[in-house]
Amino acid sequence: MKFGVVVFPGSNCDRDMQEALQNDLKQEVVMLWHKDKDLSRFTTNDCIILPGGFSYGDYLRCGAIARFSPMMQSVIDFANSGGKVLGVCNGFQILCESHLLPGVLLRNANQQFICKNVYLKGVGGADKALKIPIAHGEGRYFADEATLNELEANNQVIYRYCDEKGQITAAANPNGAIRNIAGICNKNRNVFGMMPHPERACTSALGNIDGRIILKTLIMQPQPAFV
């Protein structure tokens, strides 16, 4: 399989993602410019990644303008035809604004930009809580009750904030996300969005390789095993 990483004006985790996939996970990566729209070299066995950053300066709402870029029209078609799409941080916000995932990411409850390691319970974390960094000002996941109940009933919550021992507690929730939600997927299980940055935890040079577990189990396996 190969990976496409979309570069929007204001993306700033695109090269981190490229680095992690190419050098740490030994995958083929193609960088995709937001003004292009050609995804013909990708098949539904491949994966398109929307990286973190501040696409279009976060103007209007995070991800709201990126949704209308030429490349996103192709990414939406790619997702709807079954191709894998992963959005990290700003990429998650773009997926929500594009209606590929339900809900929205609101301003952090504590009014602060938070940049720190957190622990996650979810896909690939059956044995231990995964330590992954977050870096966002708008990461408080929110959706109405009906949507949340549907997400849980369909096992679409892929990550929740937890403590080091894997306990999902209010104290372990960094941004006030409803039901501690850090990441979700769509019903068809081919579109994934998460606020934490697995690409920042893929090399022992950075002292943490838990991110590899996430990238491997979530998008490099045919069907991710849900916890």
Partner 1 sequence: MTYTVQVTVMPLKELLDPQGKAVMGGLSNLGLSNVQDVRIGKNITLQVEAGSADAAKEIAETAAKKLLANPVMEYFEVAVN
**Site residues, partner 1 (CB under 8 A):** 60-61, 64, 68, 96-97, 103-104, 106-111, 142-144, 176
Question: Of residues 47, 62, 138, 197, which has the active-site annotation?
Answer: 197
* CB closer to partner 1, 68 vs 81: 68
Q: Is residue 197 flagged as an active site residue?
A: yes
CB of 41 to partner 1, least distance (A): 31
| Residue 89 appears among annotated catalytic residues | yes
Distance CA 19, CA 164 (A): 27
Which of 34, 185, 199, 202 is catalytic? The answer is 199
Which of these is catalytic: 47, 89, 185, 202? Answer: 89
Q: Which is nearer to partner 1, 81 or 112 (CB)?
A: 112
Closer by beta carbon to partner 1, 29 or else 101? 101
The owner of tokens 């231990």 is: 128
Q: Which is nearer to partner 1, 40 or 111 (CB)?
A: 111
Least distance CB 165 / partner 1 (angstroms): 28
* Least spacing, CB of residue 61 vs partner 1, in Å: 6
For the annotated catalytic residues, the residue numbers are: 89, 197, 199
